[in-house]
Amino acid sequence: MEADRWIYGETQDTPELHNARCNQSPQSGCHCIGDGKWCFKETALTVKTPDDKWVFFGGVELECVRDNQGSAAWNALGAGDRFFIDLNNPNEIRARVLTSSRSIGLRLRCRARYYP
């Protein structure tokens, strides 16, 4: 068995918000960050180790696995005002990301080490 490897969370699709503005109805739940023009909504992400013998080390990464017409770059994925780590335990990491524009597929990944 390898001593350490990447562990990947499940891919989550972000909301479809192409051209959705903050002041438009029914855009409830919008976060109006940046210039306040566009609606950003949260997507929750999680990555877990297979069992308690695996322990995360290093930083968690946000990975786009399905882009949509350049929306990943437009969203500036991972920017400090759009990516929040809510739980950072040795066996589980939970985060939220704010996105706008077209729906994309995101997941978390982190290196983990096996301790027999």
Q: Which residues contact 105 (CB under 8 A, 6 or more apart)?
A: 11, 12, 13, 14, 64, 65, 66
CA distances 34 to 29, 30, 56, 73, 76, Å, are 16, 12, 32, 15, 11
Q: Is the pLDDT of residue 91 over 70?
A: yes
Every domain of the chain and the residues it spans = 4-114
Q: Worst-scoring range by mean pLDDT, 8-12, 19-23, 88-92?
A: 19-23
CA distance 37 to 63: 26
Q: Check: CB of residue 91 under 8 Å from CB of residue 59.
A: no
User: Looking at per-residue confidence, does 37 or 109 come out higher?
Assistant: 109
Q: Minimal CA–CA distance to 21: which of 33, 34, 37?
A: 37
Per-residue pLDDT band for 33 (boundaries 50, 70, 90) equals: confident
Instruction: Give the pLDDT of residue 111.
Output: 97
Q: Which element (helix H / strand E) includes 74? A: helix 71-74
Instruction: Give the pLDDT of residue 1.
Output: 62
Share of the chain above pLDDT 90, in %: 67
| pTM of the model as a whole | 0.90
Q: Minimal CA–CA distance to 87: which of 66, 60, 69?
A: 60
Length of the chain: 116
Dihedral of CA atoms 62, 65, 114, 2 in degrees, nearest 10, equals -140
